[in-house]
Structure 1
Amino acid sequence: MDEVKFGEILLPGDEDTQSRREKAVRKKFWPTFKRAVRQVPFSRDLVAGFYCALDPETPTRVRGILLAALAYFILPFDMVPDLFMLIGFSDDIAVLSAAFAMVSSHMKAKHYEAADRALADQPEGMKTI
């Protein structure tokens, strides 16, 4: 996956686009996360990114980038279909890593604390921080 693709995928989008993405992310994040948790090496960052994207105090552009990355993550079919066990989430990981690199300074302690609480509430087999 090249930089041009990341640039296209991570466009923050206008208000309508962000609103659609937020609804989809709210609805599908946790089911997708539960399927992917063992394959995503940075589960805590992923969940913190989810909370950062939904935080109204997060700047609009940052929310847009995170929502774009999270929307890509929850898509059932993307560049490498998530149905392929070992490599299915590799493109998602690349997109999420790029997004986190772009917005890491906006991911606050409160987002990580919310992530820690959410992960602590997960069944034993899913606790991979």
Structure 2
Amino acid sequence: MYEIKFSQNKYESNYSDRKFWSKVKKYAKDAGESVLKPALKMYYALIDSETPAWAKAVIIGALGYFISPIDAIPDAIPVVGFSDDLGVLATALAAVAAHIKDEHVERTKETLQNWFGKTN
């Protein structure tokens, strides 16, 4: 098992709504629901005005890592390419879980349903 380390500040500069949606649209099928689910939950929490600033900073760092073309395992590598992204997203999601509302989860389910059909 390897440990994933990332500097939140390093990846904050990679984040923008435009870059996030561009990456999601381009790699949705390759990344799959397991990667997109935490990313979308955090995105919807990020745009929620009630999410505290510290949680938004964690989310921006994690989504910035997801967006970044340079990460521990290149996304273009089949099967394992998004495993480092998933690790970072899952860790960040755990850190901000108290600020993920039912409405964020529902919007995520709706989005994934639209893209992939039946979801878990």
| Global fold match (TM > 0.5) | yes
8 Å CA contact 1:29–1:70 kept in 2: the answer is yes
1:11-50 mapped onto 2 (5 Å cutoff): 22=15, 24=16, 26-34=17-25, 35-40=27-32, 41=34, 43-50=36-43
Q: Sequence identity of aligned pairs in percent? A: 32
Partner SS for 2:93: helix
8 Å CA contact 2:51–2:99 kept in 1: the answer is yes
From 65, 70, 74, the counterpart of 2:58: 65
Partner SS for 1:121: helix
What is the root-mean-square deviation in Å for CA atoms of aligned residues? 2.6
Give 2:70's aligned residue: 77
Distance 1:112 1:87 in 2: 26
TM-score between both structures, scaled by the size of structure 1: 0.73
CA shift in 2, pair 1:42/1:75, >3 Å: closer
Unaligned runs of 5+ in 2: none
TM-score between both structures, scaled by the size of structure 2: 0.78
Q: How many residues align?
A: 117
8 Å CA contact 2:72–2:84 kept in 1: the answer is yes
Distance 1:81 1:37 in 2: 16
Give 1:97's aligned residue: 90
Letter in 1 for 2:41: A
